[in-house]
Structure 1
């Protein structure tokens, strides 16, 4: 079944759910028709995955600019949007809590038949962890232990306290470990169904579907472990070694066929978010150009992936533009725009995890002396080849790159630079990589920033949403005391860089 049919199936099921509620009973007629108490769990899961893709996959110039990939070339970005009243980031904050509320409801509704819904529940719990990871990596300290406890039976907590990222991260990793161990012990018999917008297969093969979710679970554990390797080395080492040395028990995403990608239907209203943002009819919106940081590096290293991530300018050259320049380019068409592979396909994809990331992590782990059953060079070259393949680059071009400008040089910097290139479109993760490693070292904030010279770096975090200022200010004041100009100040727990402000 094609992805567009999955979305269509969800809509049809939801419609029948409403229609089947029609009855001659006065009490039932007067039941809130929007409540839908019997929505199938698979529909709830589909709604969450779709919402995740729309909210977090729709970013172009926000995280893309923070990561050094993309800049605005018509309506220049001077960082004025990094304020609480800008709903762009606030909506993503709410999406994390909304999605986890929906998943919590799903788990509650399937609790009595837990064994019959075992696989659906495993995926739901896994996605909860993913939402928490996204939330804390975006804002650092957030409501966690008291979050989603507004019901009277849970304490009626309407103003949740903020937990420190130092406490949240290990807790999420513990939850992922529990899910990973349950998956390793055996899957259920239920087919997740149309709600699985990522790994559903035409043959309704339960084992195949759940094996792919299992790989995503362990890949997410690898990502989080490496992120904290500089501040919690024992936790990072034990987690990565457990996965790397037990591939049968803890498989991870190691081929592109298992990438955690959400493919969109390509029909209204379900267009791939970058396409929806970047096109008006058949015309490309001319406000998103490639950053000089990205293009200059790709040209310097003669990286063949440049043909995938970027289009040539109108004169046939690849050319980036300065972030926050004083004036727009005289001719916007003389700046490279985002590559067609990533923006021109209405039925394109939103990436959540790429197989190459697993091997960049393994390469770095090997450099740290972890036992990962593969050398740093082997893992690095494997990662590069997977990224090239995913971008449609020929094996010969990939080999030429690895023999020349992309050649292994036994440094972590070599890994980080290439990983940064490979993460394109998963911009949030590329921004996290930059905050952890300082790569790309050529990155810089908007030249025309409204904050002047007060800050020499891209944002450390996202702005807390306005409603937190309005309705939870007492609790918000705790982390806010260490925040400067909404998005700077105290760095992420795992961000150990110095000299940035």
Structure 2
């Protein structure tokens, strides 16, 4: 893996540099292949995007981890000061999403004239493009979409893109993914995606499954506000598994792993152990308390014991740090102390939590809610190396199916650990964990009783796209509260 990261990184930089060099006409005529691409090979462009996604979003320990109720700062306490708009932190992630989609767009345009020859790499690029759009709108709600990435003269020189409403973006993304799903169902291309595919190594069936699983995720998210679209999407997928296969085993998890040697360490390991900041992060009190109360065997995987042999969480935004940092449970070795590690973009257990909820909504998904729930739990436990006997005991005990959506959501919350952004999405949609709370000593005082509803727009938008961002900010309070996500129908939060 290290050699692939290194070789592709060097190759991408070299080809980019060569493309910028001036040459005389005779040299160009003699040394130009009229059938060859003059830019970076598509697989290298894909590699750059996947690597950048992992590094940009996989490095989040607190932030989304705190919003979701998993992780709190215990050395430098979190008082929500980081939610003021900047071009760093969340602004960097905004920029990374648009950068990645700019790169994918360039790759698609570069290969357009030979689309058939690059059919597979183009499919993967388009899937990831829509994943990036979903990340953007789920993070910020209304974002530039229809006018985005159109700064070139031939596309209108649009440098100040309008913001599209989330309720318009979602159907567009789902339509794009359906088109891709149908295209893949009719057959793949003959091209090798190449070494740039750090996730599935060119396995197009797994990419096809990720495409349909992403459709499931987005459909269930809007089930409370666009039930017809949600139902038709989910039933189309589950009604024809041969045409629309989904991720259903841990061997198919959409995980980006790392070489595990300098400088290509997994981001959490790099932050905690290489950067020597492991003791800045403790487990949240609500997470540890829930796992202990449920006798959940995943506790020993997501958390390490404190110095007295007990599992102990800490309050979010406490008035002061614990007198002994080691008296609080740090993040479990499986998730932080592995230089290879993984950044999860989709866990296969999610498929079955989604199907369990869909069945509870009365959708025809080909299995009962109970069967789907138990399948999801077993996949999550397996992914955490929990033995069968312990899983059986959990499902017969505190984790037993009780015919409620809340049982699905609570267990899904546990299962999503490290996929923190998605866990924050789950919380904003369902209110689970119901024990979640914002920083106790927030700089906003008592003005808000909930975790952030959204991310702050970057400062550059206030500088260079002020009219459009101000329109998008209608109803927004203190940058991240006020108007909720389109799909967030909770009441009593502010």
TM range (shorter): over 0.9
Rounded to whole Å, the distance in 1 between the matches of 2:451 and 2:404 is 25
Per-residue Cα deviation, 1:352-387 (whole angstroms, up to 9, x for no partner): 000000000000000000000000000000000000
- Is there any run of 5+ residues in structure 2 with no aligned partner, and where? 29-36
Counterpart of 1:273 in structure 2 is 267
Counterpart of 2:377 in structure 1 is 384
Counterpart of 1:359 in structure 2 is 352
Q: 1:461 aligns with which of 454, 457, 463?
A: 454
Q: 1:491 aligns with which of 471, 484, 487?
A: 484
Give runs of aligned pairs for residues 424-463 of structure 1, distance below 5 A: 424-463=417-456
Rounded to whole Å, the distance in 2 between the matches of 1:228 and 1:85 is 30
Shift of 1:15: 5.8
Rounded to whole Å, the distance in 1 between the matches of 2:184 and 2:214 is 14
When residues 20 and 335 of structure 1 are mapped into structure 2, their CA distance, relative to the original with a 3 A threshold, is same
Rounded to whole Å, the distance in 2 between the matches of 1:172 and 1:22 is 35
Q: 1:214 aligns with which of 179, 185, 208?
A: 208
- Conservation of the 8 A alpha-carbon contact between 1:176 and 1:217: yes
Counterpart of 1:33 in structure 2 is none
When residues 320 and 110 of structure 1 are mapped into structure 2, their CA distance, relative to the original with a 3 A threshold, is same
Rounded to whole Å, the distance in 2 between the matches of 1:191 and 1:351 is 24
Rounded to whole Å, the distance in 2 between the matches of 1:409 and 1:197 is 40
Shift of 1:18: 6.3
- Is there any run of 5+ residues in structure 1 with no aligned partner, and where? 31-35, 201-205
RMSD: 1.7
Rounded to whole Å, the distance in 1 between the matches of 2:26 and 2:403 is 69
Rounded to whole Å, the distance in 1 between the matches of 2:87 and 2:153 is 32
Counterpart of 1:43 in structure 2 is 44
Shift of 1:5: 2.7
Asked whether 1:9 is paired with 2:1, we answer no
Asked whether 1:227 is paired with 2:221, we answer yes
Rounded to whole Å, the distance in 1 between the matches of 2:80 and 2:64 is 12
Rounded to whole Å, the distance in 2 between the matches of 1:268 and 1:29 is 39
* Deviating more after overlay: 262-271 vs 6-15: 6-15
- Conservation of the 8 A alpha-carbon contact between 1:9 and 1:194: no
Count of matched residue pairs:
486
When residues 151 and 166 of structure 1 are mapped into structure 2, their CA distance, relative to the original with a 3 A threshold, is same
Per-residue Cα deviation, 1:132-155 (whole angstroms, up to 9, x for no partner): 000000000000000001011111
Alignment partner of 2:403: what SS?
coil
Asked whether 1:308 is paired with 2:309, we answer no
Rounded to whole Å, the distance in 1 between the matches of 2:321 and 2:292 is 23
Per-residue Cα deviation, 1:48-98 (whole angstroms, up to 9, x for no partner): 000001111110100000000000001000000101126100000001110
Give runs of aligned pairs for residues 20-59 of structure 1, distance below 5 A: 25-26=23-24, 37-59=38-60
Rounded to whole Å, the distance in 1 between the matches of 2:17 and 2:440 is 56
Counterpart of 2:388 in structure 1 is 395
Per-residue Cα deviation, 1:295-333 (whole angstroms, up to 9, x for no partner): 000000000000110000011100000000011011110
Give runs of aligned pairs for residues 125-274 of structure 1, distance below 5 A: 125-200=126-201, 209-274=203-268
Rounded to whole Å, the distance in 1 between the matches of 2:450 and 2:481 is 9
Q: 1:471 aligns with which of 423, 439, 464?
A: 464
- Conservation of the 8 A alpha-carbon contact between 1:23 and 1:29: no
Rounded to whole Å, the distance in 2 between the matches of 1:402 and 1:25 is 69
- Conservation of the 8 A alpha-carbon contact between 2:355 and 2:372: yes
Rounded to whole Å, the distance in 1 between the matches of 2:191 and 2:442 is 53
Alignment partner of 1:457: what SS?
coil
Asked whether 1:81 is paired with 2:82, we answer yes
Alignment partner of 2:92: what SS?
helix
When residues 151 and 302 of structure 1 are mapped into structure 2, their CA distance, relative to the original with a 3 A threshold, is same
Per-residue Cα deviation, 1:252-299 (whole angstroms, up to 9, x for no partner): 000000000000111222111111111236x55311000001000000
Shift of 1:28: 9.7
Counterpart of 1:333 in structure 2 is 326
Alignment partner of 2:9: what SS?
helix
Rounded to whole Å, the distance in 2 between the matches of 1:231 and 1:275 is 39
Rounded to whole Å, the distance in 1 between the matches of 2:346 and 2:224 is 22
Q: Give the TM-score normalised by the residue count of structure 2.
A: 0.96
* Deviating more after overlay: 20-29 vs 126-135: 20-29
Rounded to whole Å, the distance in 2 between the matches of 1:331 and 1:189 is 59
- Conservation of the 8 A alpha-carbon contact between 1:74 and 1:332: yes
- Conservation of the 8 A alpha-carbon contact between 2:9 and 2:48: no
Alignment partner of 2:331: what SS?
coil
Alignment partner of 2:81: what SS?
coil
Rounded to whole Å, the distance in 2 between the matches of 1:58 and 1:23 is 35
When residues 196 and 372 of structure 1 are mapped into structure 2, their CA distance, relative to the original with a 3 A threshold, is same
Alignment partner of 1:289: what SS?
strand
Rounded to whole Å, the distance in 1 between the matches of 2:255 and 2:425 is 19
Q: Give the TM-score normalised by the residue count of structure 1.
A: 0.94
- Conservation of the 8 A alpha-carbon contact between 2:284 and 2:313: yes
